[in-house]
Structure 1
Amino acid sequence: MDTPTRSTVDLTDQLLAEVAQFIDLLPSAFDRAIRAVPRHLFLPPLVWLRDGNGGHRPCDRATAPDEWLSAAYSDAPLVTQFTDGLPTSSASMPSVVLRMLALAGLDRKSARGRVLELGAGTGFNAALLCQLCGDQAVTTVELDPTLAAEAERNLKAVGHAPKVVRGDARAGWSAGAPYERVIATFSVDRVPSAWLEQTERGGHIVTPWHSAWCSGYGTLVLTTTPDGGGEGRFHSFASFMPMRGPSTATPSDDGRADEAEQVTSSALSPWAVAGGDLNAEFHVGLTVPGACYAWDASGEHAPTRLDVADDTGPSWATVDYDGHHADRFTVTQAGPRRLWDEISAAYDRWEELGRPSVDGYGLTADTAGAQQVWVEGVDGTRRAASYI
């Protein structure tokens, strides 16, 4: 194996300079933590980098040591595990990691309470938590036994020994409760009740968010209330893999709904709701549960088609652009849900609300398990966005 030519000290300086573009006045405690936790020691010899075309390419430390080490100290996500051809674990962008720690209040000197991390991954985030709060205050839960063992080895190698639990993060870890802070390193589409129950009153839950429509965008910071519920707001950053359970259910293979298709037209452009406006997509994801999409540019059916499906049932819709008219699109729908009608209504509602950004949304959870997403208008009035 070739030897890297750049020092980790120089690379850490470079990384902190990149992070500073996203975090003004990086707290000194975070600076010290990053310098004390060498990121490359928490990465496997083989990682996968984004290839610029929506996929990933391998980067092997044995054959490309300089590229591997530079990647280790870049402010970029690195895939560390593939399962059945899909990425199932990654090392998150350091700037995103630090922003989440700041949202949890760990940039304050008074932050010394117990912390529960959900999703140990490689152990890097747990090591930062140990630096900030002390080893005895940190518990990390990891579903994958291989990753849990790897995280434990990596943490030991840099002199840290938090409690590493092999288990389903959805259930938290009641043995160490209550926690002052609960931090998830994967995204959810609702807050598990166990997390609320295990967080002390006035404590914070920080978790990335996803929906079927808008995968992995937005971070929720929830503060637990005296009655055992919670209330908080979303923040417009983060992209994380969704939470995995101990087993993956096989979706029904009933195919698309075979009832009569309804063909209409729509003035709503498919690009308005699936073309990269993350604020609009976030709203659609919250208010049209189960709806997901894929673009089809093969030309087999239309010059450009947006395929829409219900990930919980047989309903579907297609929205076709004929290559000439951008003011009217052919819509075909079938199934018990009229998905494009729901999406159009959601988009109209988003415009009616003033096209709010992700930061305008919040969530209230009650002790009965109901969770309501709301949006705050410019006048401070809260209006319900959806129930999840």
Structure 2
Amino acid sequence: MPSAARRHRALIDSLTASGALGDRRLAAAFRAVPRHFFVPLHGAATASGSPLDADRAPERWLDAAYADEPIVVQVDDGDPRRPEGVPTSSCSAPGIVARMLEAARLQDGHRVLEVGTGTGWNAALLAARLGDDRVVSVEIDPEVLEGARAALVRAGRTPRTVRDDGESGYPEGAPYDRVIATCAATRVPRAWIRQTVKGGLVVLPWTAMEGAGVLARLTVHGDGSASGPFLGGLGFMPLLSQRPPPAAAPPPEAEPDETRLLHGPDPVAPLTRFPSAFGVTAAVRRWRMGLRAVPGGAGRQLWLVSSDGESWARVVPSGTAWRVEQAGPRSLWDEVEDAREEWRALGGPAPERYGLTVAADGGHRVWLDTPDGPGWDQE
């Protein structure tokens, strides 16, 4: 398919020119594995929801396959915890895939466990870089895994693929030099660390709260702990076992225990900008937030709710001010304000200045600049 080959070459040229692909051996793997083999001919969609069909609109399908954008390949995997219409599997954007694989610092001879086979493209890239016998990929969804296996055959790659819950890793193939997760985790599974050699790396999207994710690269230590920096923001679908239940906004008729007015700058905006939102979410435990239209009025209100549903807060436009309402045993808005002020006092650090330590007993601590710097225990 000459049109596909031309697009493929242009994509990899763009990734190398931008610096996203700096590792020569990794770039060669990208050139050896066409992405369109891993995009379903029918039933996929762009990130904006536009359907893709290789028979009805082949050029458009190829354009999407070689764009630096994600492609949704599954919606609604049957999990009752997820609202209908939510994507549950995708072929990640090539630039993001390159970024994660570059972060893994792959070397000849490495053995890799991939958690989340998805479409199989990432597993194929790993196999092309390291050798098929050096890669194990685990996928929990049987339908997704079946599609990945068929795509791997089309691409001529034969990494080991296993249907299993990736949270448990894959002890039969351990130890690994690298564990790479293509799903987000709030709690780094102990199995991933135990199954990685001392000095090996666990690379994963980590999130304190759904929607505020970062790329983490953790080095495994001899005492069973792991630590390392965050390498900037990115978003991935959560590990199945760690999917949070849908967060319900407090009903409009809910009566607050406390009401007060705020004057000055928009207090909601910092929670809609990633750098400041990340600093807050790392410091405030067990909560969710969202935005919704103001009932019967203009503008939008911010709502917050604790993970146990016992506490909530609303921040609602009120003329030139903002009305804060909160109820329950926790004063959630006060906690958010305190965290935001702490972030400002620290100089407004970007997410790249933070990192994570997972202790041998499983405790998680987010830190600033160094593991011994200011930190926030996670629960």
TM-score by length of 1: 0.88
Q: Report SS of the residue matched to 1:62.
A: coil
Q: Distance in 1 between matches of 2:149 and 2:21?
A: 32
**Equivalent pairs, count:** 369
1:169 aligns with 2:160: no
Q: Report SS of the residue matched to 1:218.
A: strand
Letter of the 2:101 counterpart: L
Relative distance call for 1:355 and 1:33 in structure 2 (3 A) is: same
1:82 aligns with 2:50: no
Structure 1 counterpart of 2:81: none
- How far is the alpha carbon of 1:381 from its aligned partner? 6.5
1:290-325 CA-partner distances (Å, limit 9, x unpaired): 322222235525632112222332321111123x52
- How far is the alpha carbon of 1:375 from its aligned partner? 0.6
Structure 2 counterpart of 1:12: 8
Q: Which runs of 4+ in 1 moved over 6 A?
A: 248-259
Structure 2 counterpart of 1:387: 378
- How far is the alpha carbon of 1:12 from its aligned partner? 1.2
Q: Pick from 270, 273, 276 the counterpart of residue 273 of structure 1.
A: 270
Q: Distance in 2 between matches of 1:251 and 1:17?
A: 41
Structure 2 counterpart of 1:308: 304
Letter of the 2:61 counterpart: W
1:365-376 to 2 correspondence within 5 Å?
365-376=358-369
Segment of structure 1 superposing worse, 360-369 or 251-260 = 251-260
Structure 2 counterpart of 1:331: 324
- Structure 1 alignment gaps of length 5 or more: none
Q: Pick from 210, 224, 228 the counterpart of residue 224 of structure 2.
A: 228
Whether the aligned pair in 2 keeps the contact of 1:258 and 1:335 (CA below 8 Å) is no
Segment of structure 1 superposing worse, 61-70 or 134-143 = 61-70
Relative distance call for 1:355 and 1:199 in structure 2 (3 A) is: same
Segment of structure 1 superposing worse, 25-34 or 355-364 = 25-34
- How far is the alpha carbon of 1:250 from its aligned partner? 6.3
Q: Pick from 60, 69, 72 the counterpart of residue 67 of structure 1.
A: 60
Q: Report SS of the residue matched to 2:233.
A: coil
1:211 aligns with 2:208: yes
Q: CA RMSD in A?
A: 2.5
Letter of the 1:315 counterpart: S
Relative distance call for 1:216 and 1:30 in structure 2 (3 A) is: farther
Relative distance call for 1:21 and 1:189 in structure 2 (3 A) is: farther
1:4-45 CA-partner distances (Å, limit 9, x unpaired): 8x6122101221243246425632222221121111111112
Whether the aligned pair in 1 keeps the contact of 2:249 and 2:304 (CA below 8 Å) is no
- How far is the alpha carbon of 1:363 from its aligned partner? 1.1
Structure 2 counterpart of 1:354: 347
Letter of the 1:70 counterpart: D
Segment of structure 1 superposing worse, 299-308 or 62-71 = 299-308
- How far is the alpha carbon of 1:177 from its aligned partner? 0.9
- Structure 2 alignment gaps of length 5 or more: 77-83
1:282-321 to 2 correspondence within 5 Å?
282-300=278-296, 303-321=299-317
1:97-144 CA-partner distances (Å, limit 9, x unpaired): 1111111102xxx33221000000010000000011111110000010
Whether the aligned pair in 2 keeps the contact of 1:219 and 1:237 (CA below 8 Å) is yes
1:35-114 to 2 correspondence within 5 Å?
35-45=31-41, 46-51=43-48, 56-83=49-76, 84-106=84-106, 110-114=107-111
